[in-house]
Chains A and B, each alone.
Chain A
Amino acid sequence: MKYRDLFAGVGGLLVFFGLWQGLVSSGLVQYEYVPAPSVIARGLAGMAGGAEMWEEIGHTLMAALLGWAIACGAGTAIGVVLGLSPKTRRYTLASVEMLRPLPGIAFVPVALLLFGFSIQMELLVIVAPVIWPALVNSMGGVMAVSERLTDVARTLRLSALSTITTILLPAAAPAILIGARLALTLSLIMAVAAEMIGNPVGLGYAVVREQQAMHPDRMFGYVLIMGALGILLDAGLRGIARLLLPGEFRRLSIQGRA
């Protein structure tokens, strides 16, 4: 079942690249800077031999993961507190709703002024928008926990701390995880954006550099690398989650297939 899905997905990609290759090689589509996939592949192969591309991947990956970890840690902690306490919600939710729609990219000039060309600048641009999906989903997850479970915790005489750790957090874990997944995709996007118009390093800067150097094969190559990175990060997170939440995942996968 799973492998069939995988084959179908890869097959779709192959058809896409095949069409692209056919349209460009046959001359039906002719732009000066749209190379055929075969040309992009050669460009990628050339870059893979050197160290630069790997360093750029490493930098962007590090910035995205670090920003994601900070945003998820803070966002989930705040979200859980807000989910638990109606009073705190009453005083803070208006601020959350006001700050949440701010486009993360608007923080680039602010971050540049504060931190110059640095990893801190990137982290600010990543954390500012990425904290929200983590916060909102974990808050919603904790609020949605059945009141019955709170009754259970009270009658089993669990302490406040163990009520949170053994009941509320696991019950909210699927929602927290959804927040973490949304946050991870957004972290990569924000890292690349910060590098394109701010800190001149990593994959984001590499795309701009190759564009200005008129190397469309390499430019497209970098774009594909970012796409692959997004898929790998998401798959990695889902794998970790499957290890952490064994029962929950078996339940969801069985229900999803029924």
Chain B
Amino acid sequence: MAEAVFDLQGVELVLPAADGPRRILSNVGFSLGAGEILTIVGASGTGKTSLLRILAGLATPTGGTVRFRGQAMDGPQDGVAIVFQDYGNALLQWRSVARNVALGVERELRGEALAARVTEALRLVGLERNANDYPWQLSGGMQQRVQIARAVAMRPAVLLMDEPFGALDAMTKATQQDELLHLRQATGVSVVFITHDIEEAVYLGDRVALLSGSPGSITLSFDVDLPFPRDQVATRELPRFVALRHDMHAAIRATGGHG
């Protein structure tokens, strides 16, 4: 494996709460290789979102080390883009789709270069016909794709995704999953994908990690040896897929599930 994009060791996070300091994460460690999709599964309250905020540079761990491309993190980094679950809040409702996508790159690019970059990102998520629409005119799945396009337009090395398809219906979710795999294939971007859906984690991941307990820590991590390209019907029927899903469920039950 090439140099790790992210490398975490012994990460701790303690946040102040109403009843005193609360430990959110304890001794979390993993590394993310270039072009790899790491899915992190966990029940609510295991610190999934906090972990992603640390990777995004939006939160500072209270212990341990987080390295991005070998360097200690110090706030949000160039090359790291995040897609939030609540696309309704994360998009600028007063900007058109194209201008939302331009938001992260309009400082360094102007005119035709900017337009080309935006069109490229929109094409990658299949929204090139909606450039002039406003976010509120689009369906939930399309709005989430606008957010993904905005991240992709920055040509990030890593895409952090916080339950991005959690609010979508099952059919839209399946389409979005395949588009994400396609996007990784087209751009070689690394992905940290957070979800509470075990099937989704196994289907998307090159590697799956289980975050469990309170405070949360990674209690299980394994490579997903399923062939690419993955297929919503065929892959999910493979004995290997079923076995991995089974192992995941068993591990969650063993660790007490909802920590």
Interface residues of A (CB under 8 A from B): 146, 148-149, 151-152, 154-158, 162, 166-167, 170-171, 173, 245, 247-248, 250-251
Asked if B130 is an interface residue, CB under 8 A from chain A, the answer is no
- Give the residues in chain B near A158, CB-CB below 8 Å: 103, 107
Chain B: interface residue total (CB-CB under 8 A)? 25
Pair A162/B107 contact, Cβ less than 8 Å: yes
- Chain B positions within 8 Å of A166 at CB level: 92, 103
Majority secondary structure, B binding face: loop
| Alpha-carbon distance A215/B27, docked complex (angstroms) | 87
Nearest CB in chain A to that of B85: its residue = A148
Expressed in whole angstroms, the Cα–Cα distance for A173 and B150 within the complex equals 23
Interface pairs (15), CB distance under 8 Å: A148-B84, A149-B90, A151-B84, A151-B90, A152-B90, A154-B76, A155-B56, A155-B76, A155-B80, A157-B76, A166-B92, A170-B95, A171-B94, A247-B93, A247-B95
Any A CB within 8 A of the CB of B222? no
> In the assembled complex, which residues on chain B have CB atoms less than 8 Å from the CB atom of A146?
89
A173–B94 touching, CB < 8 Å = yes
Residues in B lying within 8 Å of A, measured CB to CB: 56-58, 75-76, 78, 80-82, 84, 86, 89-90, 92-96, 103-104, 107, 134, 136, 150, 154
Chain A residues with CB under 8 Å of B103's CB are 152, 156, 158, 166
A156 to chain B, nearest CB (A): 4
Closest chain A residue to B53 by CB distance? A151
Known: A148-B90, A152-B90, A156-B154. A251 touches B136 (CB 8 A): yes
Assuming A155-B56, A155-B57, A155-B58, is B96 touching A247 (CB within 8 A)? yes
A170 CA to B93 CA in the complex, in Å? 9
Given known contacts A148-B86, A149-B89, A251-B136, A155 and B81 CB-to-CB distance under 8 angstroms: yes
